[in-house]
Amino acid sequence: MWVQKIPEFHSGHIFKREMMTELSSYLYGLGPLLYQNCSDGIVAGCVLTTTEDSIVVNPGVIRYEGELYLIQKPQFAAYAPTNTTRVLNLVFHDQVETDSFVTREMELVFTEGPAAEERFFELCRFKLQPGARLRYTYTSFADRETEYDTLNTIHSRFCGMDRSTLSPQITMHFAQEALRLGADGTDAIFCMMLLSSKEPVRAEALEAYIHSKLGADFSCDSNIQLYRGLISCLTQFKGEQKEMPAKRKTWSIMMD
């Protein structure tokens, strides 16, 4: 048998250490338990937008080394055109323990190309030309991988069961485009599942779908491979759309 205690905070009551202990155990123990079988990565939020001179990391939750870290306010990283591939990383520093707190500092850092260290958590990459503005909206699903002047979030790891996965924004974008191209049957059902999911879709589910369309030999070991697999699936839909015969107009004549 076990007992759960929920502290009651009322005016005039004495604040006890036991109450704070129960509250702390619940708040800081629940998150790791809920995501204990998941990979490190973005759990929710952390949507990226841009201004004329900054990338904005909006509020969200990230899992790192089994712990959940909350970004409560928008964070800004100033960018400039370099005509080279720059990567915006969230860097996790080592924990520091004191009698009162366990502290971990985090900061936004640009690198030239991807960083090898695990503590460098990629949020996006881009190659910006002089005189151009960095954009975060896309004209199509394939446009997400445009080399110049475009925020590329494909490589950013999202928290998934056993392994990291693509962002919900990317999988929802695929579903919307696939349905627009005429996906039906099991393809439409899969797209509906992507659109209705509140959390990042498991990489294994995306991999299974890609293999069903492209064959089991298609590699899906990374985010970019999953994304390109979905691109190939869209190409199939476009081909099927072109092969559909044009509907013939029918005429009827009424005779009195």
25-59, pLDDT tens digit by residue? 766 777 788 888 899 999 999 999 999 999 999 99
Mean pLDDT, the chain, whole residue set: 89
Residue type (1 letter), 115: A
> How many CB atoms within 10 Å of residue 213?
16
**What is the model's pLDDT at position 99?**
82
CA atoms within 13 A on the CB side of 181: 23
Contact 185, 213 (CB under 8 A): no
Please check the confidence at residue 167 and state whether its pLDDT lies above 50.
Answer: yes
Long-range (24+ apart) CB contacts under 8 A made by 61-64 are 62/90, 62/121, 62/159, 63/35, 63/38, 63/39, 63/159, 64/40, 64/92, 64/121
Contact 102, 86 (CB under 8 A): no
User: Taking residues 115-143, what's their average pLDDT?
Assistant: 95
Please check the confidence at residue 174 and state whether its pLDDT lies above 50.
Answer: yes
Proportion of the chain above pLDDT 70, given as a percent: 86
Nearest to 64 by CA among 177, 158, 205: 158
Cα distance between residue 112 and residue 207, in whole Å: 30
pTM of the model: 0.85
CA end-to-end distance (rounded Å), the chain:
87
Proportion of the chain above pLDDT 90, given as a percent: 72
| pLDDT tier for residue 84 given thresholds of 50, 70 and 90 | very high
